[in-house]
Amino acid sequence: MISKDINLAIKILEQDGIIGLPTETVYGLAARMTSELGIKKIFELKNRPLTNPLIVHLAKAEDLLLVAENIPPMALTLAESFWPGPLTLIFKKAKTISPLITANQETVAVRMPNHPMALKLINQLGEPIVAPSANPYMAISSTTADHVENYFGNKLPLVLDGGPCKKGIESTIIGFEENYIVLYRHGSITKEMIEAKTNCKVFFHEKFQNKVQTPGMHFKHYAPKTPLILTDNIIESFEIYKEKKVGLLTFKSPILDHRNQYMLSTEGSLEVAASNLYSQLIAIDKKGYDFILVEKLPEEGIGISINDRLKRASNKL
Ligand code: TXA
Ligand code: MG
């Protein structure tokens, strides 16, 4: 059921249930941080392996002390600058945090979502929640309440409707080492924004040997059922494939096929493109194309994060 009833959502969470929750990035599937039963329901509903840890969501920065230890001063600077917002930080976990949340690792991932409904819900509930993205394992994340409802139907008692997600891609994830920061997942908060606030170098984890495991960063992820081809040159690729039934997803390129072309941002804004990405992919996936031809975005700022999602969506298992 889709509803705006926060009190009902709280009642469900208090009884160890789970709900669909709007955030500024994507919708989450939420349980109380201390509800083992609720957390297990999340993994079951998503069909997600228990080896893939969940992000804790707070409504007040002080609650960080409930979940994490050894918080570096740099992390507080970043929390002050970007929370509430799409930045997830990885810390040593507090002893009380359930190993179900952290997949038995010694670290915990934490963020404060920037959505009034999510903040109100967590505040009123009086304890943090855990929430992965509200999609079956490896499928495209949800950016509207309808997406969540379409994925899970009556297996989920309630989806709180907070409108379409403004950011549209999952949060940036970083962790702290002695003298540098490791970027585990690209998002709307870019490497440059983090370096500017901390004066500390940020390295992307695939280029850097590191002990933290981020199992959710599977090389295939965020994928539609229709095969997806990512191209640098949409005009040339369209020439090659145009005898086939192709759906085109472009940034702001000229119209090649007005009946089968979807644009991420006619005015060429990367922010707008990010916020449209998943709803367009979900819509195109329903059209029965042989494949989806997607134009790579400029490799700058959030364009890097969008291209990262598109690369994973185009990988074969
Ligand atoms: O924007 C977001 O972060 C959304 C909204 C709902 O907040 N949540 C989200 O959660 O994207 P999820 O579970 O779909 O992705 C979280 C990623 C996974 O790849 C997981 O492996 C990684 O974060 N992760 C969680 N805890 C971790 C930890 N302690 N160490 C390393 N990676 C962790
Ligand atoms: Mg996810």
Residue 88 has pLDDT above 70, yes or no: yes
The predicted structure's pLDDT at residue 215: 58
Residue 96 has pLDDT above 70, yes or no: yes
Residue 178 has pLDDT above 90, yes or no: no
Dump pLDDT digits (tens) for 242-294.
889 999 999 987 888 889 999 999 999 999 999 999 999 999 999 999 999 99
List, in sequence order, the alpha helices (H) in 199-288.
234-241, 270-285
Residues with Cβ within 8 Å of 258's Cβ and at least 6 positions away in sequence, in order, are none
- The rounded percent of the chain whose pLDDT value lies above 90 is 87
**Least confident piece of the model among 4-18, 114-128, 137-151, 236-250:** 236-250
Residue 71 has pLDDT above 60, yes or no: yes
The predicted structure's pLDDT at residue 252: 84
Which of residues 214 and 172 earns the better pLDDT score? 172
Contact between 75 and 177 under an 8 Å Cβ cutoff? The reply is: no
Predicted TM-score of the model (pTM): 0.95
The predicted structure's pLDDT at residue 214: 63
Give the ligand 1 atom nearest the CA of 101. 26
- The rounded percent of the chain whose pLDDT value lies above 70 is 95
The predicted structure's pLDDT at residue 242: 81
Substitution site in 48, 105, 170 for ligand 1 pocket (most atoms within 8 Å of beta carbon): 170
The DSSP symbol for 224 reads: -
Sign (positive or negative) of CA dihedral 155, 160, 163, 164: negative
Residue 35 has pLDDT above 90, yes or no: yes
Residues with Cβ within 8 Å of 187's Cβ and at least 6 positions away in sequence, in order, are 25, 86, 87, 167, 169, 170, 171, 172, 173, 305
Distance 274 CA to ligand 2 centre (A): 16
The residues placing their C-beta within 5 Å of ligand 2, an ion, are 133
Q: 69 pairs with which residues across the strands? A: 92
Q: Residues with beta carbon inside 6 Å of ligand 1?
A: 23, 25-26, 28, 52-55, 86, 88, 90, 102, 105, 107-109, 113, 131-133, 170-171, 173, 184, 212, 214-217
The predicted structure's pLDDT at residue 206: 72
Residues with Cβ within 8 Å of 63's Cβ and at least 6 positions away in sequence, in order, are 128
